Structure 1
Amino acid sequence: MSAAPVDGSCDPRFGPLREAFAENFSARGEPGAAIALMIEGRVVCDLWGGHRDAARKTPWASDTLVNFFSVGKAFTALVALRLAERGLLDLDAPAHRLWPEFAVNGKETVALRHMLSHQAGLPAIREELPDGAMLDWERMTSALAAQTPWWTPGVAHGYHVNTFGYLIGELVRRASGRTLGEILRSEIAGPLGADVHIGLPQTEHGRCAEFLWPALLPEKPEGPPDDTTLMKWNTYWNPPGISGAGWVNTAEWRSAEIPSTNGHGTARGIARVYSALAAGGMIDNIEILSRPMLAAAVEEQSFGPDRILERTSRFALGFQLPQDGRPLGPNPQAFGHFGAGGSLGFCDPVAGVAFGYVTNDMGPRWQNPRNKALLAAIYESLAA
């Protein structure tokens, strides 16, 4: 496999990171990607390479945007946490105080904390929805409001792959009168100058990379499924395009707000947000979260068997925490969020690290050799 050109800048100290990024193209099948590393608020590596289209004719550029999937869950959480520290949201109040329609079918005790930590019991919608319904906010939130939890809220956790953003976003909307994407833009991304978006303005669509979605999709189980099988299937495929299949490269998808799933941005933008978090919630006199709220946000909330992923997972309030088999470097204080395909945003406050990685390929989701190589190279460089 021939190497793709890599552009950008990298401090010589982080040569191993540049090499690992280049090897992602030459040895690990990367089609197009970008990385950005900040140390103590200073950009030390800002690289991009490969191509932004399936035909591999258009090079990735410094400002290329791409769908980073669940990396956006952390930004979704940041918006909710900002409202919580202002008293507009309460982590532990029943959600139905703001969302009266939600108080049915065993959800009367569900709180924002349950939603942020994947304990709400609502990873999937049972009602069969037509393709494209994920673009209709009212349709999705109404279905979730009517839903009976798949398990008793608070007694277990399971990754709310695609419903996470609708649940939290509806509380944000009712508490503030604004959408989650609007608040992200005006209160976090805008002030920081971070190129990250939930609900991408039409004017920015021309910068988007084509996401190379797999041609083959899983087949729906034959016959009447048991409840657990139905829950897992519906998590990813009800409505059929909720994970992005068939939609991810369309204008409708890019413009919509699907906060769990359709965030767009650059690696540099992701790293910029995490640079503030690595510094305790403030950088360059711009505070995106108070230090006490950030400390609460990264406390473990759920850890153990995940009812959706069928493996161990570990969550704080909207952030993924390190665990055996999926560390974020050597320091347990690190936190962040992975996205489908291997995209990643995280910070390590101990090492002063803030990092973003974006790709336009659906690589391995759990053990991704590309982001593992990048993580190893960051700490190899720091140790040199």
Structure 2
Amino acid sequence: MTAKWNPSMSTAPESYPHIDNAKIKGHCDTRFEPVWQALEMSFAMGEDVGASVAVFIDGEPVVDIWGGYFDADFDRPWDRDTIITTHSTTKTMTAMAALVLADSGELDLDAPVARYWPEFAAEGKAEISVRWLLGHTSGLAGWTEDVSWADVYDLEKSTALLAAQAPWWKPGTASGYHGITQGHLISGVIERITGKTLGRYFADHVAGPLGADYHIGIDASEDHRIASFVQATPKQLPSGNPIAERVGLNPVLNPRLATTSDWRRAEIGAANGQGNARSVATVHSALACGSANGVTLLSDAGRLRALEVQADGIDLLLGLPVKWGMGFALESPLRQNRPGHRVAYWGGQGGSSCLVDFDERMSVAFVMNRFVEGPGESVRGSRIIEAAYQSLGR
């Protein structure tokens, strides 16, 4: 005879594997419990599907956690080695490659780009310095010619177009966020010095030595662990700003691109880096204190160059006041800085975020698959960063 249920009976199993497998996992020092709680809150509020968070202090991980789901169907858990496109967080990796090359003495950041790349001098660009590429002040925020994504993936073609075109404003006088072109421009310089494309140089001299699982151009053998985005908001198209419109529409970037093999194989140093929070924080730890995981990558003088101000005013594309350093923002309305703290930060379209605090010798990173555009884009990453400071008592 089958027992009948009554309100006093519990029929819940002790665990639900489907749910338990996607709970937050990893390592978190007790002191940094607020960071764990911040990620837990994002999942509980439905703000995230799958994500990872990492905090390094003095070159060592104090937080390395992940959780949620790999996919929109909530079938597969986001695991330790899940990676995803980080969009413009890639720019910070490109900046790291340039800083490492400069620290080695092979690249002079004050030199004209044309010293290394003679064709670049066309159309009045002979005086543009390498630092202007890193600071978004070169006037080459986008392509004058109409381009497709196939053109962008073709580094030889797309960098040649940039070398041949005239700047959109007087170089060095103002910043205009180089949404896709920044990585191409810096790759053009690095390749002519080293014989290696940006992606190859980054792998050999930054990610490889540090053991960071971050890739600017990734092999097909890794596709099985690359998560796809879960789009949470409609595509935001720029309007009312001719520079923003040209950059945003030529060509249009959307989260579905990240699922294509052409996107993953390409080396778009401003947008298509693949990684997780651990890898981002590992690389940035070398900026925060010079090293990560026992490997020294940058001298103190070399890492502090990131803080050299390249522009300080209204960015012509973003329409916001931004103080740009070497490949990182130093101050902007996008993030409130702690008084007296020297920081460098940025983030990626959809919501990835990263911050380096030179005084705390700390790097913080947040990477996710729930893709949010518009005013809410940076909310989750900012919450993680605030939790890291709370953990430090700041």
Give the TM-score taking structure 2 as reference length. Answer: 0.88
For the residue of structure 2 that corresponds to 1:314, the secondary structure is: strand
Question: Displacement, 1:230?
Answer: 3.9
For the residue of structure 2 that corresponds to 1:262, the secondary structure is: coil
**Compared with structure 1, are the counterparts of its residues 140 and 356 closer, same or farther at alpha carbon in structure 2 (3 Å cutoff)?**
same
Report the identity percentage.
Answer: 37
Q: What is the one-letter code of the residue matched to 2:364?
A: F
Residue 91 of structure 1 corresponds to: 109
Residue 73 of structure 2 corresponds to: 55
Residue 130 of structure 1 corresponds to: 148
Match for residue 65 of structure 1 among 61, 64, 83? 83
- Write out per-residue CA displacement over residues 131-162 of structure 1, whole angstroms, 9 at most, x where no aligned residue: 42211111211111121111000011111111
Match for residue 294 of structure 1 among 276, 296, 303? 303
Please give the root-mean-square deviation of Cα atoms over the aligned residues, in Å: 2.3
Instruction: Give the number of equivalent residue pairs.
Output: 374
Match for residue 192 of structure 2 among 174, 192, 196? 174
For the residue of structure 2 that corresponds to 1:321, the secondary structure is: strand
Match for residue 203 of structure 1 among 221, 233, 236? 221
Matched, 1:277 2:295: no
- Write out per-residue CA displacement over residues 306-335 of structure 1, whole angstroms, 9 at most, x where no aligned residue: 100011112111122134551355553121
CA contact (8 A) 1:52 1:60 kept: yes
For the residue of structure 2 that corresponds to 1:132, the secondary structure is: helix
- Write out per-residue CA displacement over residues 103-141 of structure 1, whole angstroms, 9 at most, x where no aligned residue: 122212111111010000111111112342211111211
Question: Displacement, 1:275?
Answer: 1.9
**Compared with structure 1, are the counterparts of its residues 352 and 81 closer, same or farther at alpha carbon in structure 2 (3 Å cutoff)?**
closer
**Structure 2: distance between partners of 1:77 and 1:366:** 26
**Structure 1: distance between partners of 2:85 and 2:35:** 23
Segments of 5+ residues of structure 2 without an aligned counterpart are 1-18
- Equivalent positions of 1:126-165 (< 5 A) are 126-165=144-183
Segments of 5+ residues of structure 1 without an aligned counterpart are 222-227
**Segment of structure 1 superposing worse, 367-376 or 208-217:** 208-217
- Equivalent positions of 1:1-384 (< 5 A) are 5-213=23-231, 216-218=234-236, 229-240=241-252, 243-279=253-289, 281-283=290-292, 286-324=295-333, 326-329=335-338, 331-364=340-373, 368-383=378-393
- Write out per-residue CA displacement over residues 6-52 of structure 1, whole angstroms, 9 at most, x where no aligned residue: 22222222221111111111115211110011222332221111111
**Segment of structure 1 superposing worse, 88-97 or 305-314:** 88-97
CA contact (8 A) 1:28 1:369 kept: no
CA contact (8 A) 2:355 2:385 kept: no
Residue 225 of structure 1 corresponds to: none
**Structure 1: distance between partners of 2:196 and 2:70:** 33
Question: Displacement, 1:349?
Answer: 2.5
**Compared with structure 1, are the counterparts of its residues 139 and 96 closer, same or farther at alpha carbon in structure 2 (3 Å cutoff)?**
same
For the residue of structure 1 that corresponds to 2:391, the secondary structure is: helix
Residue 15 of structure 2 corresponds to: none
**Structure 1: distance between partners of 2:168 and 2:135:** 15
CA contact (8 A) 1:69 1:263 kept: yes
Question: Displacement, 1:236?
Answer: 1.9
Question: Displacement, 1:213?
Answer: 4.2
CA contact (8 A) 1:95 1:112 kept: yes
Q: What is the one-letter code of the residue matched to 2:109?
A: L
- Write out per-residue CA displacement over residues 182-223 of structure 1, whole angstroms, 9 at most, x where no aligned residue: 1111111111111111111222111101123467445687xx
**Compared with structure 1, are the counterparts of its residues 166 and 381 closer, same or farther at alpha carbon in structure 2 (3 Å cutoff)?**
same
